[in-house]
Amino acid sequence: MLYAILVVLLVAADQLVKILVRANIPLGASMPFLPGLVELTYVQNTGAAFSIFKDHTWLLTIISAVVAAAIAAALIKRVVAHPFGVITLSVVLAGAVGNLIDRALFGFVTDMFNLQFMHFAVFNVADICVVCGGIAFCVYFLFFYDKLEKKEAPDDSHPAEG
């Protein structure tokens, strides 16, 4: 239940920031956020990360829906039981849902965070969730899954009688 609340809060934060950007920043315009570090730039992204698959929003919408459903099913079925693993998947799910909402409603994803100290793609809260949650889940799966998700293995130490 707490994980569902985390997903809802992250999706709400993502959508709130996007609503504020669309309402207060003209398309393509920027305003300071953290001077010298990050500015808010209103961008409509019809693609995925770095605008790949630009103008294929319908395909990205389907992929996002399938990925979100798969992650939700994995969480419901408790494929990952350890709290850290569940949190990482919940954060990825929130990001997938946040961007899915934009694609389904508008045909584009609202992006706004523009790094001023390096050339990088403009991104949003949902993107942060997908990337950070995805990296954290990979670390969890590669280094901790076997230790923290121990399943009872069948006892093969006794030969079958017969």
Whether 109 shows a pLDDT value over 70: the answer reads: yes
- Residue 110's contacts (CB-CB under 8 Å, 6 or more residues apart) are 18, 21, 22, 42, 43, 44, 45, 102, 124
Q: Distance between CA atoms of 21 and 106, rounded to whole angstroms?
A: 14
Q: What is the residue extent of each domain of the chain?
A: 2-28+38-143
Q: Cα dihedral sign for 122, 127, 128, 132?
A: negative
Q: Distance between CA atoms of 67 and 65, rounded to whole angstroms?
A: 6
Whether 152 shows a pLDDT value over 80: the answer reads: no
Q: Provide φ and ψ at 156, rounded to 5°.
A: -95, 10
90 CB burial (10 A radius; 0-12, 13-18, 19+): buried
Q: Distance between CA atoms of 62 and 54, rounded to whole angstroms?
A: 15
Measured in Å, how far apart are the chain's first and last C-alpha atoms? Answer: 49
Told to judge if 102 belongs to the known catalytic residues of this protein, a careful annotator would answer: no
| pLDDT tens-digit readout, 110-147 | 999 999 999 999 999 999 999 999 999 999 999 988 88
Give me the catalytic one of 14, 55, 102, 127.
127
pLDDT of residue 8: 97
pLDDT of residue 134: 96
Give me the catalytic one of 14, 102, 111, 156.
111
Q: Distance between CA atoms of 9 and 91, rounded to whole angstroms?
A: 10
Told to judge if 111 belongs to the known catalytic residues of this protein, a careful annotator would answer: yes
